[in-house]
Amino acid sequence: MTSAMSMDAMMAELNRLKAENDSLKKQVHRPITIKVSEKGAVSVYGINRFPVTLYAQQWQRLLSQAEDIKTFIEENDELLQKRSFAPHMPPQQNDSNN
**Number of domains within the chain:** 1
- 17/57 Cα distance (integer angstroms): 46
91: in domain:
no
Q: Residue 17 is inside which H or E element, if any?
A: helix 2-26
pTM: 0.56
For residue 46, give the 3-state DSSP assignment: coil
Write the pLDDT tens digit of every residue in 3-29: 667 888 998 999 999 888 877 777 666
How much of the chain is helix, strand and coil, in % rounded to 5?
Answer: 45, 10, 40
75: in domain:
yes
Question: Residue 60's domain spans which residues?
Answer: 2-79
Q: Are 89 and 48 in contact (CB under 8 A)?
A: no
Write the pLDDT tens digit of every residue in 41-80: 999 998 888 999 999 999 999 999 999 999 999 999 999 9
96: in domain:
no
